[in-house]
Structure 1
Amino acid sequence: MHRDDRVTTEPGDSPVTSVPRDYAPADAGHWFELSEGRDAGKKLFFWDVTLTAQGLVPTEATAETVADLPVVLFVHGNPECSYAYRNVVRALRDRAAAGKFSLPVRLVAVDHIGFGLSSTATHEVVPMDHAENLDQLVGALDLWDVTLVVHDWGGPIGIGALLREPDRVTGLVACNTTVFPMPFVGPTFDDYPIGWLPWADFPRVTPDRFWPAVASYAVFRRPAGEYRVLLELLFYLARVEGFGWFPEHERDARRVYYEQFEDEWNTRASKRLVRQTRYWGHGNTFEDPRIGTRNTAPFYRAIHDGIGREWGPSGREVDVELVFGGWDPLAKDAVLDQWAEALPQAEGHMTVLDGVSHFVEEERPERVARAVVDAGGFAAAHTT
Structure 2
Amino acid sequence: MIDKKTTATSNDYVIRVLDSPAEVAASAWNALLFSQPQATPFMRHEYLHALHASGCATPDTGWTPKFFLLERQGALLAACVLYLKTHSHGEYVFDWAWAKAYAQHGLAYYPKALCAVPFTPVPGARLLAKTQADREHLAAALLDFCQHQQLSGLHGLFASDNDLAAFEKSGLLLRHTVQFHWHNTTPGYASFDAFLAQLTPDKRKKIRQERRKVADAGVRFRVAEGCQISPADWEFFYRCYERTYLEHGNLPYLNRDFFTRMASTMPEDWLLFVAERNGQAIAASLIAINTSCAHAPQAAATQRVAYGRYWGALERVDCLHFEACYYQPLQWCIANGYQRFEGGAQGEHKLARALLPVTTTSAHWLAQPQFLAAVDRYLSAEREGIQDYLGALHQHSPFKSAMVD
Q: Fold match, TM over 0.5?
A: no
Taking structure 1 as the reference length, the TM-score comes to: 0.40
Bigger proportion of residues as strand = 2
Taking structure 2 as the reference length, the TM-score comes to: 0.38
Structure with greater Cα Rg: 2
